[in-house]
Amino acid sequence: MSRRAGPALRGHVLGLRGFRFRALGTRHRLVVPDGVVRLMIGFGEPVRVVDAIDPRRFVSGTSMVTGGCTKAVIGEHTGVLTGVTVLLTPLAAYRICALPMAEWVDRPLDPAHLFGTRGRHFDERLAECPDWPGRFGLIEELLAARLREGPLGCPEVVGAWRELVRVDGRARVDDLADAAGWSVRRLERRFREQVGTSPKSMAQVLRLRAALRLQDAGLSWTEAATETGYHDQPHFVRTFKSLIGCTPGRFRSDQEVRRTVGEAGWVDS
């Protein structure tokens, strides 16, 4: 079950999704890098999150916060997986978690460590709710309180982030710095703090996300690469492999993980 966030959270929370999966074997779910922060609060079997580029890197847990990933990850689980996933913009996550984003980007963390006393036993409270609307309401109440209390992103970083999103990553860092009235170095430092990665890395993620959506809508890989401003097909393939861990052709033909790119960048099996 999915729903939009309430009016107080819109622009910060991109959506909420309740899920219950029952797997006889191991279920795989690929999450492509898309600049979205995911808060997953589970009350079932744990999930294992594996780096799609380097499978030796993985973490396991029932609940976790995954930073605005710059590389693909694969979620794996067996048995019953139940919980709620919240999609956040990086700047909203910065306010809610009140931590420098660069400290935990691409590193899953326990929500209880981020939300203090409000996050304590929160998974148990969600599990005790009789229905999904009640669970969504509890989460929205927690997030709204944290947004009110958390640090605001500085206008220069907010402006650079919005411009990158507006143009699907097709912006020069020099131009973003000029618009902010800052040096490139200062913009990069503050952007890492509040978004979690450099403007250049986020631009790569957003451009690739746009190409994936175009290909999913029916364009060929070549057409999608051209539309999103890649210099040539080899440039596109290199970027694709560095962020997702396989070639575009393998991405669509691999039967191990069925992939459909959704509105928020979800790729489900």
pLDDT at 261: 41
The DSSP letter of residue 131 is: S
**β-bridge pairing 64-66 and 73-88:** unpaired
Residue 262 inside a domain? The answer is: no
pLDDT value for 269: 26
Give residue-wise pLDDT tens across range 191-215. 999 999 999 999 999 999 999 999 9
In a domain, 251, yes or no: no
Please give the Cα distance from 225 to 23 (Å, whole number): 36
| 79 phi/psi in degrees, rounded to 5 | 75, -145
Report pLDDT for 260. 37
CATH (domain of 94): 2.60.120
209 part of a folded domain: no
CA dist., res. 166 & res. 164, Å (int)? 5
Task: Note whether residue 13 is domain-resident.
Answer: yes
Residue 203 placed within a domain: no
Query: Residue 194: helix, strand or coil by DSSP?
Result: helix
Q: Is the pTM of the predicted complex or chain greater than 0.75?
A: yes
Number of domains present in the structure of the chain: 1
**Which residues of the chain carry a pLDDT beneath 50?**
255-269
Range of the domain at 95: 2-149
Distance, first Cα to last Cα, the chain: 17
Residue 81 lies in a domain: yes
pLDDT at 267: 32
Q: Please give the single-letter amino acid code of residue 133.
A: P
Encode pLDDT of 125-157 as tens digits. 888 999 999 999 999 999 999 999 999 999 999
Q: Please indicate, yes or no, if residue 154 is contained in any of the structural domains.
A: no
Domain presence at residue 267 = no
Looking at residue 254, what is its pLDDT?
67
Looking at residue 256, what is its pLDDT? Answer: 44
Provide CB contacts within 8 A for 60, sequence distance 6+: 46, 47, 48, 49
Question: Is residue 37 a contact partner of residue 89, using CB atoms and an 8 Å limit?
Answer: yes
